[in-house]
Chains A and B, each alone.
Chain A
């Protein structure tokens, strides 16, 4: 009883929407790798009018106090590491009360089937599908009551929850990442932790190299060995949002240029090209089928002043980048600029452009040109990437290490 009472009062996972008391439970630190658990419950009680969909980028990179969002009762519905299958089933979960507006962040890595943790197979083996209102095929999940009982048993009576309560109490004065009531991640501005370059390398290895090297070479990146197709889930999401008249904005977020160099050096650029072309094609095809205008698709990727921000040297253990936490996750300062552009609040400064079938090839060609210039002027970054690939591969043949980059 004592533990259950403590768990309810501290509410380390935000399940009970208890009063937020500074110094006691205002900051929820025990959320990392538990968003599959928390968010399906949290969003239903939050009842947002605007949701941000996607993965950790949706949670960490945007300030929900931005003028475009502040009055929109916005909820960050991203789940760290989520692929398009997770996005699809978690969207179905709220289909009975869809928001008025959705901003869907399309991260390239979310479309890799080889990302084991986000594949359909691994998601189906987890608890997540059992706690959602609907199955992936749209049928109702009548058995979710059992999962709800198990979930509440966990948050009331488990060693995990005891630990979470203690951790929550202990860390209230810290500034680490914590989950806020609106689903976004607060904090994160801490200057401690891995040196900047190491952070970038870690993400590049885990999010890109590991899945890229393990994916069968005879299958496209969006197709899995068990028949799953990440572009198909994306298509289902777009269709649902269009059919239900949700005002939707699709956004390709920026990544640091090192990510694009990863794709070029390992000859995966063609995958990226196909991906963008497919995003545009699917968006326009669905719109045509439904007799509606295509959803606005904004592209903030590419080489620009933000994405080519200088990475501190390995010996510099203290400096932090202005725009990025790591190669994929950018800071709210940059997120605000994205929101400014898509809500047309400020001068675009050549940052971000609408992506359509008329502009996608030109944009890709521009990236290819920019890659040549970047690679020739940033040999350290290229070497980092090659070394990272070799360190992840089981055998050296998996990586291309002899990269001769032509002059632009």
Chain B
């Protein structure tokens, strides 16, 4: 079930919320509340394909059994073996569903596999619930008493706001809140702020992300650009599409959880406001990189390691990140390219540290953000391209003639239902698209982070908070209405496929 669907907005969410309130009013226990959310979240997951619920629960039970073994006073070897088996089972599940086709296709191309490659459907959310449970197993291995009941386990993995596309939540982040009574402590302020953030996220998805997607998809799906106009605009606009898509989902996930009084970790922290590359990756998909840092980088890192080892570890993390995003060499390449850029950026900052202190802050900020935006847009082009051929076509046209006459982007723009609002002259239309990019850049650079702006619990001393006024309420209402009107043309989230 998608957040941006009628069934979610008009049936599921109101139903879950109402029953949650009824349970609270009737004095239901925390266990009852948890059970209700487990049922609702299971329904939410099963809406896609009911029989994959069996897979989800099999994974949950397997990990629960591993946790129970880890809780026992057993010797180190059995503990390690149990942890290894649990992690292997989780990764094996992920590998089977996500990477079998990729591996066999490559073997086939190398002449080492001759049978047809099976078409294995990737279960929804498998990348997320697998990583969450691996983190949980590691937590229990390190601290056997830091476990939870079966009901709590099912709840923190399947809680529907984060189930499909993150954030990747550590057990303590949710379970401690539940044990602290937060599920029963949601007030009208939580509802108001949670709903506000949800509406902001919904509008980012339906009014911005989806419209950009509609514009650029034909360019990527039909062989790529024929000139530099399409190459640059196609890259930059996809950089905005994935930004608003992911930002939207993260906002909605946090907003939904906040409706029920719970705080999820921020997963998307205005990354285009970063002024250098490493900072970008601290703000983008925060919880994925936190997982990789905690379970890959830190365990493998030693104080004795030299520069080369640290570089290789960084590349490993980005390699895994690329692979996690998709079973294709373009994703792997995307991950590695970003790893290399982080390393180069770190060196650059180190080498020119003294010179940089002489540069005014506003220049450093502006140029840093511009660099991050352009560099990320170009790497995201690799992320989006269906194959290396298309990516190569993009790169080869970055500095070619603009070729406005054959622009796929302009041709697509003219076919829009609302095309009569657009200028008919190609140069004017191309200029309008460039201005659109500038406006979107202004939005991502200057707008406050929606989560910190909307939710009290996420405020920092430097952030402004959303005024609680009638005008804001009317604006949000209009935004919600405009978004709901756009639902029929909407698409699924990009991160939905991971």
Chain A interface residues toward B at CB < 8 A: 146, 149-150, 153-154, 157-160, 162-164, 167, 226, 394
Contact = CB atoms under 8 A, between A and B. Distances in A.
Contacts of A159: 417, 482, 485-486, 489
Given A159-B489, A164-B417, A394-B389, 12 more contacts: A149-B6, A150-B7, A150-B488, A153-B6, A153-B487, A153-B488, A154-B488, A158-B486, A158-B488, A160-B417, A160-B489, A162-B485
Interface of B: 6-7, 119, 223, 389, 417-418, 482, 484-489
- Among A150, A162, A167, which residue has the most Cβ atoms of chain B within 10 A? A150
Contact of A160 (B7, B484, B488): B488
* Overall SS of chain B's interface: helix
Nearest to B11: A146
- Among B484, B485, B489, which residue has the most Cβ atoms of chain A within 10 A? B485
26 contacts: A146-B7, A149-B6, A150-B6, A150-B7, A150-B488, A153-B6, A154-B487, A154-B488, A157-B484, A157-B485, A158-B485, A158-B487, A158-B488, A158-B489, A159-B417, A159-B482, A159-B485, A159-B486, A159-B489, A160-B417, A160-B488, A160-B489, A163-B418, A164-B417, A226-B119, A394-B223
Pick the 10 closest A-B CB pairs, nearest first: A154-B488, A163-B417, A158-B488, A159-B485, A150-B6, A158-B485, A160-B488, A159-B486, A153-B6, A160-B489
B215 to A, nearest CB: 15
Contacts of B389: 394
A22 B430 CA distance: 39
Contacts of B223: 394
- Among B6, B487, B488, B489, which residue has the most Cβ atoms of chain A within 10 A? B488
Contacts of A163: 417-418
B4 to A, nearest CB: 12
Contacts of A154: 487-488
- Among B7, B417, B482, B486, which residue has the most Cβ atoms of chain A within 10 A? B417
B431 to A, nearest CB: 24
A39 to B, nearest CB: 17
A164 B489 CA distance: 13
Nearest to B222: A210
A408 B417 CA distance: 51
Contacts of A157: 484-485
* Overall SS of chain A's interface: helix
A227 to B, nearest CB: 9
A226 B7 CA distance: 30
Nearest to B417: A163
Contacts of A164: 417
Nearest to A170: B420
Contacts of B482: 159
Contacts of A149: 6
A160 B418 CA distance: 9
Nearest to B389: A394
A162 B481 CA distance: 13
Contacts of A146: 7
- Among A159, A164, A167, which residue has the most Cβ atoms of chain B within 10 A? A159
Nearest to A3: B485
A394 B488 CA distance: 34
A154 B485 CA distance: 8
Contacts of B484: 157
Contacts of B488: 150, 153-154, 158, 160
A157 B417 CA distance: 16
Contacts of B489: 158-160
A157 B480 CA distance: 13
A159 B389 CA distance: 36
Nearest to A164: B417
A185 to B, nearest CB: 19
A159 B488 CA distance: 9
Nearest to B116: A225
A158 B488 CA distance: 7
A164 B482 CA distance: 16
Nearest to A149: B6
Nearest to A162: B485
Contacts of A162: 485
Nearest to B486: A159
Contacts of A153: 6, 487-488
A226 B488 CA distance: 28
B352 to A, nearest CB: 44
A146 to B, nearest CB: 6
A160 B485 CA distance: 8
Nearest to B484: A157
Contacts of B486: 158-159
